[in-house]
Structure 1
Amino acid sequence: MKIVVEVKLMPDAMQAPVLGCTLRAINEAANWVSAVAFERGLPREFELRKYTYAELKERGLGAQAAQHTIKKVRDAYTTLKANIRAGHLGGPGSKRRRRAEGKPIGFRPDAAQPYDDRCLSWQYDAKTVSLWTTGGRVKNIPFACSAGALKTLREHRQGESDLIERDGTYYLIATCDVPEADMIDPDRFIGVDLGIVNIATTSTGYCASGRGLNRHRKRQADLRRKLQAKGTRSAKRLLKKRNRREKRHAANQNHIIAKTIVTEAERTSSGISLEELKGIRQRVRLRKPQRATLHSWAFAQLGAFIVYKAKRAGVPVVFVDSAYTSQQCCECGHIEKKNRVSQVLFTCRNCWVVAHADRNASHNIARKGEAVWNAGRESRASATP
């Protein structure tokens, strides 16, 4: 299982300008390579290397940096073609697709640049790195990270690391290949109902309220509206900064919720059952004031966090159909739309059980997850004589 570890570089006054010049020079060269690829009809990486490698060397890029720049450009065009094929940029005549296909792909001056072990080395005990730059090899650049991240780097780092610049601060994002734990045989399943008012409600009683996160997003939206109305350059810079801060806050909340759910499942030898919510934004029709709330709902991110944390803990995760989970009674199985009285209240019209709506749905999801797991695993019954 591949995960990434982000460390913060702390270069001194002499090292920081060299890193900035390196990123700008590499991305300027990447824009030139992109123009060549666009003019020549997007050749393959080997052919693109024949047209551009010598020029990149003359521009001061090292051998590995030149190879990675060419590969970065080729990968960007591959991603563009995949998005077009999947219809993410609209149909053949759409304005967005014509704009994407009608010009070379551009790279920002601070866009990420990959480094491999030939041009980057780690000194874990000293917590420093040494990496190639256009001004030569820069050694002993301090970095900061948590103790857990340092342990993961030391034991599992493998592959490339990306150098990025964000608001004048430099980071290295390292790829780590972490082995998955042995999968346990679950005694039961914990159902997880995902929502906006309550981010996650489990069948074991845990409920992560979304009140704080929704208030935070509303404050950010109000501030964003004022900054957009102002329209100055400093306002636009602050908009980008606020956008990243909101994303980090939401991701941190999802990490906390996912860790709590997986820890509970690991402690009780249980599996986790999640709803399959893919395509919900296309299916659901809402009034305009509610659309921003729906589209800022990070259910996919929370599900991804639960999956990868569960893999590291050896906890099985299954995805089930979300149809009628909020309308079905978890006691008698009766399905009726009127059962869902409100966002909070569930009252069965058959057996008259009264329950919390999200808690009732989580029990239905848990039962579906156990059925999916039992149907998919091998039978352990003895062979018929």
Structure 2
Amino acid sequence: MKIVVQVKLLPSPEQATALKATLHACNTAANRASTVAFETGPQSRNDLQKLVYAHLKADYGLGAQPAVRTVKKVVDAYTTLRANIRAGNLGPEGSKRRAKAEGKPISFRIDAAQPFDDRILSWQMDTGTVSIWTVCGRLRGIEFAGGANQLKTLREYRKGQTDLAHRDGKWFLVAVCEVPEGELYDPVDWIGVDRGVVNLATTSDGDNHQGRRLSRYRRWHARKRQELQAKRTRSANRRAKRRAKREARHAAHINHRIAKKIVAVAQRTGRGIALEELDGIRDRVRPSRDQRATFSTWPFHQLAEHIHYKALRLGVPVIEVDAAYTSQMCPRCRHTARDNRPERDTFRCRRCGLAGPADLVAGVNVRNRARSAWVLVNGPVSQRR
């Protein structure tokens, strides 16, 4: 299983200047290679490399390996673009967005991240430093810092390329690590997880991870962005983009914490994790006008991704079940009706009288559906029939 680990790079002012010049040179060269790729249409790295390799070395001061990595970055970008077009992510043929993407070369920001391999970037884990190629010569002894778990993962599992990134005046190294997957065990039971907006995640055990603080944080950022957008200046737009990135990082941090807690409980108790299958939920649900922005930007999928990869690493089984009517069905008598949920936070069965928090009831229903699905898939052939 591949994961990425990000650590902070701590260069001196002179080293930072050399790193910045390197990013500028590599991305300027990438834009040149992108223009050639757009005009000639080569489909492979070798084809594009034959056309631009000598020019990248002679005109932009790149070494042999940095030129190769720059060409690969350009080819990967066009591969991603073609995949998005085939998947329909840029709209149908003839749409304005798709025509704009297909009608010009892919461009790279002057400070966009640049990939390095082990020939041009080496790690010294014992001393906590790296050695990296730059257009100003090889820089040695640049310190980096990270959490204990991050450094342990880097030391044991780092494999592949490392990206040099410059963001908000800070330098980062983003390394690819090949982490072994844990051996999946046969769960003794399941933890049902209901995801929502008010409560980010509610488990069938009654653990409730509320989202009210995150909602207030997002609303505060939304007001600040509106104030900046009203100014209609370039600096205000830059500040608004920085705020949006900060908000996204904060939401990802919250989802990481929730996923870590849920997976830890499942591993400790020998249970699996059951999630609602929410693919296409934005097409199925019609929120009110004042809820549309919140609903369309809420990171449902991100939380599921975090749970999936953390569980896979520890060998915890994860299953997705049908999400239909989980908050309207009684887990005791299975009576399903919209009237069973008179309020957002309250469930009260009209047939048997079972009452409780609506999100907890939904989590229990998710758990029960996982039990049935697991028995159906893993039971004898005669039982499946």
Q: Secondary structure at the match of 1:318?
A: strand
Give the root-mean-square deviation of aligned CA atoms: 1.4
2:148 matches 1:147 = yes
- Which amino acid in 2 is paired with 1:357? A
Post-superposition offset of 1:378: 6.1
Post-superposition offset of 1:374: 2.1
Post-superposition offset of 1:290: 1.2
- Which amino acid in 1 is paired with 2:369? K
Equivalence map 1:92-171=2 (5 Å): 92-171=93-172
Q: Secondary structure at the match of 2:336?
A: coil
Equivalence map 1:40-79=2 (5 Å): 40-58=40-58, 59-79=60-80
Q: Secondary structure at the match of 2:191?
A: strand
Label 1:380 to 1:126 Cα distance change in 2 as closer, same or farther (>3 A). Answer: farther
Post-superposition offset of 1:2: 1.1
TM-score of the superposed pair, with normalisation by structure 1? 0.96
2:34 matches 1:34 = yes
Post-superposition offset of 1:380: 11
Equivalence map 1:1-385=2 (5 Å): 1-58=1-58, 59-377=60-378, 379=380
Distance 1:257 1:380 in 2: 37
Distance 2:167 2:229 in 1: 22
1:315-348 CA-partner distances (Å, limit 9, x unpaired): 1000111011111101111111221211111111
Q: Secondary structure at the match of 1:179?
A: coil
Q: Secondary structure at the match of 2:138?
A: strand
Distance 2:133 2:147 in 1: 25
Post-superposition offset of 1:237: 2.3
- Which amino acid in 1 is paired with 2:49? R
Distance 1:301 1:169 in 2: 25
Distance 1:194 1:115 in 2: 39
Q: Secondary structure at the match of 1:14?
A: helix
Which stretch shifts more, 308-317 or 234-243? 234-243
Distance 2:10 2:116 in 1: 18
- Which amino acid in 1 is paired with 2:44? R
1:205-248 CA-partner distances (Å, limit 9, x unpaired): 10011110000001011111101101223322221221111111
TM-score of the superposed pair, with normalisation by structure 2? 0.96
Give % identity: 55
Unaligned runs of 5+ in 2: none
- Which amino acid in 1 is paired with 2:86? R
Unaligned runs of 5+ in 1: none
- Which amino acid in 2 is paired with 1:76? A
Distance 1:356 1:242 in 2: 35
Distance 2:97 2:381 in 1: 54
Distance 1:103 1:158 in 2: 35
Distance 1:270 1:258 in 2: 15
Distance 2:373 2:157 in 1: 33
- Which amino acid in 2 is paired with 1:49? Q
- Which amino acid in 2 is paired with 1:340? R
- Which amino acid in 1 is paired with 2:140? K
Distance 1:119 1:43 in 2: 26
Post-superposition offset of 1:93: 1.2
- Which amino acid in 1 is paired with 2:80? T
Distance 1:284 1:378 in 2: 34
Distance 2:288 2:99 in 1: 31
Distance 1:340 1:52 in 2: 64
Distance 2:22 2:89 in 1: 33
1:174-231 CA-partner distances (Å, limit 9, x unpaired): 0111111121211100000000011000001100111100000010111111011012
- Which amino acid in 2 is paired with 1:35? T
Distance 1:4 1:138 in 2: 24
Post-superposition offset of 1:113: 0.8
Distance 2:61 2:334 in 1: 70
- Which amino acid in 1 is paired with 2:170? T
Post-superposition offset of 1:354: 1.2
After superposing on structure 2, the runs of 4+ consecutive aligned residues of structure 1 that deviate more than 4 Å are: 378-381
